Structure 1
């Protein structure tokens, strides 16, 4: 044994009850005779400090104290006995050689007697306290000598205090257990410090009261262990900090290291089962008892005891399991009722760092097998497989793929990528490698499309037959949508389609595959200026499919988009789009629904368009497809703006922009363009310009939808700034670009209408007439009320005299039959302006009030302001517009809300209005948002259309200076 010495602590906090207990035992020894107390606790809990403090008090009170401590080094016990006897330990004879020639038992007995006589001499002078610290390291012979004295000094004032480190098993552990079993020793278990004790310790160390957050971190990191707490506080003091916010930050940085070092020291001396459980839990991270027992090899009561010991020493989080069903603290109980024990990351890292590499690899492989056999989630098993150096068993590949398939959302998609990348390291066949690469591309597409395309290119390179290449080409095309690789995807899809030439007796599955490739080719090409013309020419020879399969419906959607871009009669494009959407498939909604919905939107079938976009938004949110979700939000913003719901358009566009700014990698410029358009209509020019600057980034000029909407909207901004030449240049550039791309639809980006209006303002009437005339054939061919109304408006702008008034009046009537409330308001304004020029003030005021009312309902503040100025100049009063939000409802929303308020079910409303139940739901959602109500019961009674405005008496007045028609 080695002398550990008596170390008196600077101060003792939180052990007043324990000191009182020892004092009671000392008093009992003085009055009733010898007794012993075993003070137990884990490392750092304060056993030595408590015994030293009690010894100091006993000595101060005049009692004799003998102190010694055991050591981990194996000795014969003489050093302990020597300290207790007050003699040189090496002058003592060997216990077994005291009486030469007698049996060992007689020698030991003689040795015990001599020890007893010596202590009896000390006790003759008064009470005596023997302190044996770290008694677990004492040899059995020494402890039996102490026991011999205790049993023969029952009438003497002797108190023996043993201290035992509970997690260690030394030579004296069994003897101490025997003392307890025979009832010859009382126990005093030391627990963690309380929160109040921690606060007092902080004040003693740092000199002032601590913040609540500082104390909370101290308690969490130290676990109430005094030694650990002293290290934390000393570190804060050495850093020159106090128990405040700065000190708390220091604790966060250093606390894990303190805890890990403490745990490492504890595990070095703990019993084998406890160490095995700690290592198994470190590998598993968190576990219930069955996998933990299977991996550690420690079961039953031994497992429970090991976990309890680990908890006491901060290795495992939380207190022991509450078998009575009470609170379990840090122990997590899953639904099945089995407690789950956890381990802090810092502790886990420290335990794993102490394992040899081969041992750690073996544990991880066994852990994966144990979890898999126990039926745990594939992700739990895959997390172990990620750490293995080698995937040696076939089942491991299946688990990694299953784990990736279960991780389709934003929070887990990166985990899916890790699983599949690890799967590529396995010994795979060529087909398996292709499948894994495709799955890896799907997982990567939402967060890293460039990486996904790289994997697909490798899969394409490995494919050997057209049948193998075709589905990979489809994945490549869908992943490349909106990226700079889209033109290459068009090429790949075109080659794949050519290679899949149909033959007599072709299998239906092959036909479906070919149709899928064709549909993806259209979806990929319809937004690429350089590719559109070639694909249009190729698709012109394709027969229109019946739409009986998912692939055929996707092809119908692409054909509908082509028909719309080509400017064919809207009824043809609408028929194709409707056939594409006629079945709500159980499969996830994709880009084909988005494309068909946009076709319906520009063809004035806005209710159906919003319904389709709602389907896309719901599906893309559930599956975490950020690119598609952004596009659907932006598309719905454009459709809402087109029907005069400027506020709703701004909400959708902002949501799309917010998503675009959180998605890693390049994103579509369409959210910014849609936001710029809505902000412009709301009169926020500077914010609109900022949004459009984001939307005009490099590369957008090759996209059909985004580029031309960008040019068109930016031209509107220039005009509002008074830069007519700049606006004209942008609109004419838009027209030329559409012509180059082969897009002839007149309402996709109707640049020709404001161009004609500005040319007239600049005195270039002949040029304006040519622009307006060039649009007439196209709007008549397209044939929607919106297109016809815009064509009439352009013709009216360039006409003279009475013909101008007649054309503008026709435009107002045509637009009134469409959902285009913004355009109707512009036409009303333009007609009112012209009537005022012809001195028809009564008619001018009537149409200007109509323009103001429509602009107010739509949230079109720019036009509303112009119309108000012109109305005042015409001698009219401002109309008394209702302040109720009801006026912001569209006609369709108003009809649906009125029926809903009367108790009509959604299905009955759908049947009555010839729309789908989903459309009814979408309208009601918009109504609730606009009216700020939570349901049908809160809908206002008055939802009917407002009555006509009373006309004011006509007054003769000229137009205000600088007034101009806003065009589109």
Structure 2
């Protein structure tokens, strides 16, 4: 929800501008509002918007303080406001009371209020109401008037309005926001007419006023100032205040506003072994999750745990709390789900789901081996059936993305035997087919067979019911494998459709955090493969921004950073790619999960591009060893062989030729136009004379048939240089410009500018 509101306001800001956003007394804002404000102010660089935020230090709650610090970190500039000067106070006094206000009187106004703007305005209003003359003899009465505007003086003034008015003000302070006349009357225990009289008295006393633009019109109230609201709230005896929050929760529920609206009051009620409160908080959490507010859901469930729940419900509350934090805090999720699984109370299906979610959180937190162990331990205690089959599929899924797997060929044979006869009649079979397709893709097996396996998973070209991006039974990692299999087999049309569906599904459901971050990353990488490099960079940077909100050094950071580095290198911006590598510590040791595209290959290419040839060769050699050990020979996903062959050509041509020949054999086995075209381009770079020109021509022809426009542009420029053809160079230049490949554009323009030897 927060992310959606940020996007919505950003769009509005581009339609109606320039805009100024003024927020005063931000320390009193609720956490959801502060969360939005922090997210919005961190994304103002490209908007014609000025945001001015003022707050009192030290008066916000702990989470609120953290959010205000995020707002402050984005501020340019930041300043500490000073009290009004004596001259400014005098100007305000004369503007309010008249030019005849004398200097001693104005000076006393400043001395009494200390230059506090709120107190100054309130004091001057009281001077007007009392009919006091703004001259020196009357100045001695200012201190007593000022005391009635704040703290104990305000409370005394409130009590002077009568018991009924005080009770109504207490009810309004407990309700806090959205103070409707009816709700306040119910909470204060009075009828409508009596409530209206109390509201009128409080408005006359400048304690309440009609809410600006409130949905209830004249029946919607608010405090004149947050300091008044705070003083009234603190004046309520603690026991009475707690009891009133309980009554407010009941009144809000009875009014039909729902459990989520009542939850803010239940959060203030003391724990009392109340099963009904636990159920209300669980229902409130479900309502918050349904509209994409997981932090609010988390607070409700944490409060339910403090009640505490009945023993037979305790495990379910922990499980629900783990589900609420899964999107935003993998480490917290692990603790809750382990606690839930450690006590009785989870039925078989829910227990299996908890284990699968626990394993997912462990993977997101970089604990892949523990994820596999948790799944295996639960599978061992189950009899054969759908639940065990689900756990077995999850086991294969985590092993499939395990970069350091010991027996990768053996697992591949086992998975191929298990998936071979499956037709995709249910989601368990479809899951195994996806795993088999992903494994075959990474190993560089025949691409047509990989695509056929992927297509068996779809129902009329779409994801099957229960296997969607927001369905929780299987997790989104499985669908990432499906989309990646299409991506690296030249079926970018289907990959783009899948990942765009993911982005839309997560944004619609309010799934911020890991899911939305990876959706942006994979949409961006499909753009990279298509040659839309500028769009790719934008999506990938957004994916990293979202990932930063979840934690640091997580597997999602490795994928998004690797994809962005690959994109920046394609754009001809190695320095920008190096900056990303440094920001995210993109260097060995690599995570336990597979990084897409291959981390060794991308970092090796980066090192070569930034002039660190020896380090680059070492990284590419490491890629070769890893590929040989694990049997992963997809030359598009892991293009180390081409870069290594080119780097070795000058001092070890025999090995370079052997690497290029092996890469070409692997590419032809895989069979996509991209793989074969790239292999031919590498072979051409090592050749001489007419054979070089012929190979480049063949590479360009293959890549023209592929969906990868950048690789086609690269081959076309290299063919134009080899053939000394101005026409081919111009064609390659146009393609490079369309892709946003600035480095390739500069290279082609330089050759065309020299013009020597071109035909």
- 2:517 alignment counterpart: 630
Contact 1:825 1:852 in 2 (8 A): yes
Pair 305,194 (structure 1): closer, same or farther in 2 beyond 3 Å? farther
Deviation for aligned residue 1:615: 0.6
Residue 618 of structure 1 deviates from its aligned partner by 1.0
Kindly report which structure 2 residues correspond to 1:655-694, keeping only aligned pairs within 5 A, or say none: 655-664=542-551, 666-667=553-554, 668-694=557-583
- 1:361 is paired with a residue whose SS is helix
1:501-900 correspondence to structure 2 within 5 Å: 501-502=383-384, 511=386, 513-531=387-405, 533=407, 536=412, 539-543=415-419, 545-581=422-458, 582-584=461-463, 585=465, 588-589=469-470, 590-622=476-508, 623-664=510-551, 666-667=553-554, 668-697=557-586, 701-706=590-595, 709-760=598-649, 762-835=650-723, 841=724, 844-875=725-756
Residues 1:486 and 2:378 are matched in the alignment: no
- Secondary structure (helix, strand or coil) at the match of 1:341 reads strand
CA distance in 1, matches of 2:415, 2:655: 36
Matching residue within 186, 193, 204 for 1:294: 186
Displacement of 1:290 in angstroms is 2.8
722 and 468 in structure 1: CA distance in 2 versus 1, 3 angstrom threshold: closer
**Post-superposition offset of 1:614:** 0.5
Q: For 1:72-151, list aligned pairs within 5 A.
A: none
TM-score (norm: length of structure 1):
0.60
Q: Which moved more, 1:396-405 or 1:410-419?
A: 410-419
By how many angstroms is 1:288 displaced?
1.8
Number of aligned pairs? 632
- Aligned residue for 2:354? 472
Kindly report which structure 2 residues correspond to 1:206-285, keeping only aligned pairs within 5 A, or say none: 224-226=125-127, 259-285=150-176
Do residues 386 (structure 1) and 262 (structure 2) align?
no
For residues 408-434 of structure 1, the C-alpha deviation after alignment (integer angstroms, 9 at most, x for no partner) is 389832221110011112343444222
Q: Which runs of 5+ in 2 are unaligned?
A: 1-91, 135-145, 471-475
Quick check: 1:340 aligned with 2:196?
no
| 3-state SS in 2 of match to 1:342 | strand
CA distance 1:800–1:333, change in 2 (3 Å)? closer
Find the counterpart in structure 2 of residue 168 from structure 1. none
2: CA distance between counterparts of 1:202 and 1:781?
96
Between 1:710-719 and 1:274-283, the stretch displaced more is: 710-719
| Conserved? CA contact 1:731–1:751, under 8 Å | yes
Match of 2:323 among 434, 442, 445: 442
Residue 408 of structure 1: which of 289, 297, 300 is its match? 289
Instruction: Provide closer, same or farther for how the CA distance between residues 862 and 329 of structure 1 changes in structure 2, counting only shifts above 3 A.
Output: closer
Residue 106 of structure 2 corresponds to 205
Go from structure 1 to structure 2 and tell me whether the alpha carbon gap of 1:637 and 1:330 turns closer, same or farther (over 3 Å shift). Answer: closer
TM-score by length of 2: 0.75
Q: 2: CA distance between counterparts of 1:223 and 1:377? A: 43
From the superposition, tell whether residues 202 and 721 of structure 1 become closer, same or farther in structure 2 (CA, over 3 Å).
farther
3-state SS in 1 of match to 2:221? strand
Which residue pairs with 1:29 in the alignment? none
- Per the TM alignment, residue 522 of structure 1 is displaced from its structure 2 partner at its CA by 4.0
Structure 1 runs not aligned, ≥5 long = 1-192, 234-254, 319-327, 836-840, 877-951, 955-968
Q: CA offsets per residue over residues 109-146 of structure 1, 9 Å max, x none?
A: xxxxxxxxxxxxxxxxxxxxxxxxxxxxxxxxxxxxxx
**Counterparts in 2 of 1:388 and 1:406: CA distance versus 1, 3 Å:** same
Distance 1:256 1:694 in 2: 54
Residues 715, 731 of structure 1: 8 Å contact kept: yes
1:748 is paired with a residue whose SS is coil
| C-alpha displacement of 1:531 | 4.5
Measure the CA separation in 2 of the matches of 1:346 and 1:538: 69
SS at match of 2:364: coil
Shift of 1:758: 1.7
Deviations 1:500-524 (A, max 9, x none): 341xxx5xxxx2x344434433444
In 2 relative to 1, CA 530–218 (structure 1 residues): closer, same or farther, beyond 3 Å?
same
Name 1:46's counterpart in structure 2.
none
What is the aligned partner in structure 2 of residue 946 from structure 1? Answer: none
Return the offset for 1:769.
Answer: 1.6
User: Could you tell me how far apart the structure 2 residues matched to 1:515 and 1:338 are?
Assistant: 61
User: How far 1:610 sits from its partner (Å)?
Assistant: 1.0
- How far the C-alpha of 1:350 sits from its partner, in A, is 2.6
The Cα of 1:605 is off from its aligned counterpart by: 0.8
The verdict on how the C-alpha distance between 1:524 and 1:453 changes in structure 2, with shifts beyond 3 A counting, is same
Over the aligned positions, Cα root-mean-square deviation in angstroms equals 3.6
Structure 1 residue 603: Cα displacement: 0.7
Q: 1:821 to 1:429 in 2, by over 3 A?
A: same
Distance 1:465 1:304 in 2: 53
- Preserved contact between residue 391 and residue 426 of structure 1 (Cα < 8 Å): yes
Deviation at 1:785, TM superposition (A): 0.8
* SS of residue in 1 equivalent to 2:636: coil
More moved, 554-563 vs 764-773? 554-563
Distance (Å, rounded) in 2 between the aligned partners of 1:256 and 1:818: 79
Contact 1:644 1:820 in 2 (8 A): yes
Q: Kindly tell me: are residues 361 and 858 of structure 1, through their superposed partners in 2, closer, same or farther at Cα, counting changes over 3 Å? A: closer
Distance 1:206 1:783, change over 3 A: farther
Instruction: Write the distance in 2 (CA, Å) between the matches of 1:202 and 1:430.
Output: 72
Cα pair distance change 1:875/1:406, threshold 3 Å:
same
Distance 1:208 1:368, change over 3 A: closer
In 1, the alpha carbon distance for the partners of 2:180 and 2:428 equals 47
Q: Deviations over 1:916-952 (max 9, x none)?
A: xxxxxxxxxxxxxxxxxxxxxxxxxxxxxxxxxxxx7
**DSSP-derived class of the 1:462 partner:** coil
Do the aligned partners of residues 497 and 562 (structure 1) sit closer, same or farther apart at CA in structure 2, a change above 3 Å counting?
A: farther
| 3-state secondary structure, aligned to 1:225 | helix
Distance in 2 separating the partners of 1:596 and 1:683: 30
Counterpart CA distance in 2 for 1:217 and 1:440 is 42
Per-residue Cα deviation, 1:153-208 (whole angstroms, up to 9, x for no partner): xxxxxxxxxxxxxxxxxxxxxxxxxxxxxxxxxxxxxxxx9994268679862599
Deviation at 1:768, TM superposition (A): 0.5
Q: Distance in 2 between matches of 1:220 and 1:612?
A: 59
Q: What corresponds to 1:355 in structure 2?
A: 236
1:7-46 map, 5 Å: none
Q: 1:576 to 1:769 in 2, by over 3 A?
A: same
Could you tell me whether the CA contact under 8 Å between 2:525 and 2:563 is conserved in 1?
A: yes
Distance 1:806 1:615 in 2: 42
